[in-house]
Amino acid sequence: MKRFSILAIFASAALVACGGGEPPAAGEPAATPQQQEAAADTAMQAPAEDAAAEEAQPELVEESAAEEAAVEEDKPIVLAEAATPTPPREWKFKEGQHYTRMVPTQPTVGGADKIEVAEIFWYGCNHCYDFEPFVNRWLETKPANVRFVRIPAMWNPLVKLHAQLYYTEQVLVASGKIADPEQFRAAVFAEYHRRGNRMASIDAIQALFEKHGVGAQDFQNAWGSFEVSQKMRVGEDLGRRYAITGVPTVVVNGKYRTDAGDAGGYPKLLELIDELIVRESIR
C-alpha cells in the first residue's frame, strides 16, 4: 500500500511538469499499480537507450571525399626524369678572327647594371664619319639591357683637342645649353669633313659652339671645368687599357674589342656587336 502511494504521487508530478497531460477518459479502467510501475520503469530507461543509440550512429562520409581517396590510391607513380642537356650554341663570329678577347676584362664607363657598348672615335676620322649613320640606326633598336657610350681618341694634340670638344659638348647637353645633341654632333662632323674646318684651336671650337646657340661664357665655363677634365682623364685611361690603335673601334663590356675590318664591314660589325651582347647576357 505504501509503494502504491509513492508511485501515484510520482505520476501526478510528471503530468504537472510536462503541462500537456490529460486524465484518463471516463469509463476507462484506471491503471493497476503494477502497470504504473512498469510505465515508470520504461520512462526512466528511455533516455539511456536514446544516448546509446546516438553513440552507435555511424559517421557520415561525403561522397566527394570518398572519391578523392579512391583517386589518390589509383594515381600512377611518375618517375623523375633527368634534365636534357642544352646543346651548345652555334656562334657566327669567332674569337681571334672577328674580335679579340681582352684578358683581363677592363673597366667600363658605367656600372655593371647594363652591358656597355663603347665606340672609340675621332671627329676627324673619315671612317668614323661613315660609321655614324650605321650606329644611329642601330641605336634605335638596341636591347634595353645595353648602355651605349662614346669615348674620344687622344693620340696627339689635335685629337686630344677634339676629345675636349666632345666632353664639353656632353656637359653642355646635360645642362640644357645644347637642345639637340644629335644635330650638334652631326654639325661637328660636317664642319670637319664637308666644310674643311679642322677646328684646330680653342677659338675655332668656341665659334662653332656659338654658331649653335651656346653663349661664350657658357662655353668657357664648361671647357675649363673640373667635370670635363675628369672625363678627359677617364677617357684617356680607358683608351690605353683597351689598347686602341685605330678608330672606329668598338669595345663590348670591357671584354671584347673589334672593328669593321675584323668583322667584315659596318653591317657585319653591328651583327657582331649583337652577338657579343647575347654572349654577355647568357653568361
**CATH number of the domain that 202 lies in?**
3.40.30.10
Q: Residue 11 falls within a domain, yes or no? A: no
When pLDDT is averaged across residues 227-231 and rounded to a whole number, the result is 98
Q: How far is it, in rounded angstroms, from Cα 58 to Cα 50?
A: 15
Residue 218: all three cell numbers together? 657658357
Q: How far is it, in rounded angstroms, from Cα 249 to Cα 239?
A: 10
pLDDT for the residue 85? 60
More confident residue, 51 or 112: 112
Q: Residue 89 falls within a domain, yes or no? A: no
Query: pLDDT above 90 covers what percent of the chain?
Result: 67
Helix (H, G, I), strand (E, B) or coil at 159: helix
pLDDT for the residue 61? 43
Q: How many residues make up the chain in this entry? A: 283
When pLDDT is averaged across residues 171-183 and rounded to a whole number, the result is 97
Mean pLDDT, the chain, integer = 82
3-state DSSP of 50-117? HHHHHHCCCCCCCHHHHHHHHHHHHCCCCCCCCCCCCCCCCCCCCECCCEEECCCCCCCCCCCCCEEE
DSSP code at position 30: P
pLDDT for the residue 27? 44
Is the predicted pLDDT of residue 13 greater than 70, yes or no?
A: no
How far is Cα of residue 36 from the mean position of the Cα atoms in its chain?
A: 89
Q: Residue 14 falls within a domain, yes or no? A: no
Q: Residue 242 falls within a domain, yes or no? A: yes
| Cβ(112)–Cβ(272) below 8 Å | no
Taking CA atoms, 110 is separated from 113, 138, 144, in Å, by 8, 20, 15
**pTM as predicted:** 0.70
Residue 166 belongs to domain spanning: 100-282
pLDDT for the residue 218? 98
**pLDDT tens, residue by residue, 45-96:** 444 444 444 444 444 444 444 444 444 555 556 555 556 565 668 899 999 9
Q: Residue 16 falls within a domain, yes or no? A: no
Phi, psi of 257 (to 5 degrees): -120, 135
**Reported confidence tier of residue 108, pLDDT bands at 50, 70, 90:** very high
Domain count, the chain: 1
pLDDT for the residue 39? 47
Q: Residue 94 falls within a domain, yes or no? A: no
More confident residue, 87 or 246: 246
pLDDT for the residue 89? 80
**Reported confidence tier of residue 44, pLDDT bands at 50, 70, 90:** very low
Q: How far is it, in rounded angstroms, from Cα 282 to Cα 145?
A: 12
Q: Residue 221 falls within a domain, yes or no? A: yes
pLDDT for the residue 173? 98
DSSP code at position 23: P
Helix (H, G, I), strand (E, B) or coil at 148: strand
**Reported confidence tier of residue 141, pLDDT bands at 50, 70, 90:** very high
Is the predicted pLDDT of residue 244 greater than 70, yes or no?
A: yes
**pLDDT tens, residue by residue, 254-276:** 999 999 999 999 999 999 999 99
Q: Which amino acid is at 222?
A: A
Is the predicted pLDDT of residue 253 greater than 50, yes or no?
A: yes
Is the predicted pLDDT of residue 198 greater than 50, yes or no?
A: yes
Q: Residue 104 falls within a domain, yes or no? A: yes
